[in-house]
Structure 1
């Protein structure tokens, strides 16, 4: 994860953190959430989903893969200063809009024209038409969802093994917290099954389904002399792509 998305272990962050307790602050945020949910429920990735969706029978022109991972990737592509400046659903709006333009569902001129129209008349009716089959698919997705689990487990490590976290390159996205890179830990649990991240990270190593582990880290391994006295261990769930054998295994 890039700096603005995972602040664990960083020092010198000034000022209190403001936690907004409301799920939706303004009404338009509910619509952004709804658009994201509809895109998830119509995503091409559901062709391989465990519930067995017949996504090709749904009368929609949306034929792209859209998952939480794509939403996160769009947010990470933002300028870091904009990321801290904008509110939560403003980031969602930017990521979804950029994706729809990139995939050719709408162009920038159409966005600009619609923006000007609704700024001039905020109460203008929103576009839409009844599509019961689409509604049914999205509602079924909300009830049944999907799972990243794909196939049986093929782990390289076992409980008790010492592992070292890798330091893979990542051009635009990674699920590996920076403060764990290069650190040594112990496998605490091996999850049942292999798991796919719903967005290929390219150079970062995530693509095909891989085993996932819970790894235990001693706080002194992570923070050195800065670790608090008597601090408990830190546990992280990590893809196998991010782990290498510990020193004992290499001998």
Structure 2
């Protein structure tokens, strides 16, 4: 499991906490966000998405799947020291670049040449079919909801967070593993994830909001006061609490 998943309450990080509220600090960050959204709008999984898209008819050179899961996997694959060194959209840029290299869309030599000869695009280029598809995706999105909820746990249930096998990508905060919480809410649907992560999520399942007592997680280091920690968790990460464990 990557260090990036254990940040809750972690002390001694090299940089102080920043409360920057701007979404984009540099202009190039907007372009990276746009590239990511365009890739999601042209991803080949959209033919089976909700709603479905006529992706096979779109004249795009992107023939692979690209989702939030792929973006996150790219960031999580970074060396932890690099992960903490780079800013948010620098991580995005690194993940997107590595994707195109790994999939063979471009070689490292070609990338270096294009960087050296880079000229900002005029904005007049593009294909109407591709533009229409990306705009449709921006308007309609890609819903992960597949059914009404079929929960194993009810509101008020005490649950233990599973210590699932580590994989390349996870949606489970590492610092919650093994801790006990209380189900505060069951979301209305069963939700799929973009891919099967190897630690239990992928197929449609319920999602819960689970509440934790900070002192149960951080002990004496927890801040004083009427505080609670809430986490949205897939059902695969929850285990029933037996009488022996309670």
Return 5+ residue gaps in structure 1 as ranges. none
Q: Is 1:65 the equivalent of 2:60?
A: no
Distance 2:171 2:228 in 1: 20
CA distance 1:60–1:233, change in 2 (3 Å): same
TM-score, length of structure 2 as denominator length: 0.89
Correspondence for 1:229: 224
Correspondence for 1:93: 93
Q: Deviations over 1:159-195 (max 9, x none)?
A: 2221100011213221111121101111111111211
Correspondence for 1:176: 172
CA distance 1:87–1:229, change in 2 (3 Å): closer
Q: Deviations over 1:84-128 (max 9, x none)?
A: 22222222111001111112222222112212223xxxx465798
Return 5+ residue gaps in structure 2 as ranges. none
Distance 1:76 1:15 in 2: 19
Correspondence for 1:241: 236
TM-superposed deviation, 1:142:
1.0
TM-superposed deviation, 1:244:
0.7
Correspondence for 1:111: 111
Distance 2:213 2:3 in 1: 23
1:120-159 alignment to 2 at 5 Å? 123=119, 129-159=125-155
Root-mean-square deviation over aligned CA pairs: 2.4
Distance 2:59 2:80 in 1: 38
CA distance 1:136–1:115, change in 2 (3 Å): same
CA distance 1:124–1:37, change in 2 (3 Å): closer
Of 161, 181, 186 in structure 2, the residue corresponding to residue 165 of structure 1 is: 161
TM-superposed deviation, 1:19:
3.7
| SS of corresponding position for 1:53 | coil
Q: Which moved more, 1:96-105 or 1:10-19?
A: 10-19
| SS of corresponding position for 1:112 | helix
Q: Which moved more, 1:62-71 or 1:18-27?
A: 18-27
Distance 1:160 1:102 in 2: 46
Q: Tell me, yes or no, if the aligned pair for 1:166 and 1:242 is still in contact at 8 Å.
A: yes
Distance 1:28 1:215 in 2: 37
| SS of corresponding position for 2:232 | strand
Distance 2:243 2:219 in 1: 21
Correspondence for 2:33: 33
How many equivalent pairs are there?
Answer: 246
